[in-house]
Amino acid sequence: MTVNLRAIEEYLCQLATEKVGPIIKSKSGTQSNYELKTGTRAVDIVTEIDKQLEKLIWDSLVEKYPTFKFIGEESYIKGVTKVTDSPTFIVDPIDGTTNFVHDFPFSCTSIGLTIEKEPVVGVIYNPHLDLLVSASKGNGVRVNGKPFDYKSNIAGMSPLVLDKSVVALQPGSAREGPNFKIKLKTYENLLSADGGFVHGFRNLGSSAMTLAYIAIGYLDCYWDGGCYGWDVCAGWCILNETGGRIVGANPGEWEIGVDNRSYLAVRGCNDDTGEEQREYIVNFWKCVEGNLKYE
């Protein structure tokens, strides 16, 4: 099967900017009635608009690419839905739902495609900032449709070292138990003068936006656990095309799948051997306190 990835990227960009974006923008901050995903988890929010948009995206994609599979946040069934080798769209209709409910301008739509489980197309669109970041494997990255020169962007950066980096961190919606403890202890280790002593952390409340921001050079890395394939699939492809790398959040996890549930994403650097990136990852992992575990 030959697939024109660039053409798919174009189509997804059009879908994101023309159909999905306007609805996210107009409905942001208007949804006071939201559901709680799982009983006690009163901070895991889903709205009616998430479901509507997923259907809209699904319908469009099925019509255009009837043989491709589709995984979406809202239609996902725990333990049943699996990423296979077939071409599969992996979609988060609204990434950053809490932002969406609170009208914090970092909700976006994130649409990715995997083939043989590898992210090969990624489109992220934030209608509040009118920022469209897209990529397809081997075709580089575009920002708002224009080629993004990631090489000169990175050429202007300092070497990638932990104590000069700005890292993105998000506590997520699980607020008790071992993973929550590991996360907060790791944050402390990263910030502490006796630990990673990073320049700072940022929290945008959207995994997809965070990955897009790393790809365009605003952030150095992103460490998280608890997210899903649809949160990272599109951003993963975009980051790959800028020389970035995604590994596991836990020490030693050099090779992971899209559905790993915990991730460390790192920007590209000026070192073609990849050694600078590897060293950064190893140093980062030293600050990770314990092992994050997800089903």
Nearer to another protein, 99 or 260 (CB): 99
Consult the annotation and say whether 253 binds a ligand. no
Consult the annotation and say whether 231 binds a ligand. yes
What is d(CA 251, CA 285) in angstroms, rounded to the nearest whole number?
A: 5
CB of 163 to another protein, least distance (A): 7
Spacing of C-alpha 54 from chain mean position:
17
What is d(CA 21, CA 25) in angstroms, rounded to the nearest whole number?
A: 6
| Residues 249-280: b if buried by 16+ CB within 10 A, e if exposed | bbbebeebebbbbbbbbbbbbeeeeeebbeeb
Nearer to another protein, 37 or 64 (CB): 37
Consult the annotation and say whether 73 binds a ligand. yes
CB of 29 to another protein, least distance (A): 7
- The 10 Å Cβ neighbour count of residue 79 is 6
Consult the annotation and say whether 163 binds a ligand. no
CB of 146 to another protein, least distance (A): 17
Strand partners, 90: 71, 112
CB of 219 to another protein, least distance (A): 7
Of residues 244, 212, 248, the one with CA closest to residue 231 = 212
**Residues making up the chain, counted from first to last:** 295
Nearer to another protein, 71 or 143 (CB): 143
- The 10 Å Cβ neighbour count of residue 196 is 22
CB of 156 to another protein, least distance (A): 7
Nearer to another protein, 105 or 112 (CB): 105
Consult the annotation and say whether 85 binds a ligand. no
Of residues 163, 273, 161, 151, the one with CA closest to residue 215 = 151
Q: Which residues bind another protein (CB under 8 A)?
A: 29, 32, 40, 42-43, 45, 98-99, 101-106, 129, 156-159, 163-164, 166, 169-171, 175-176, 180, 184, 187-188, 191-194, 197, 199-205, 213, 217-220
Which residues carry a binding-site annotation? 73, 92, 94-95, 231
Which residues carry a binding-site annotation for Mg(2+)? 73, 92, 94-95, 231
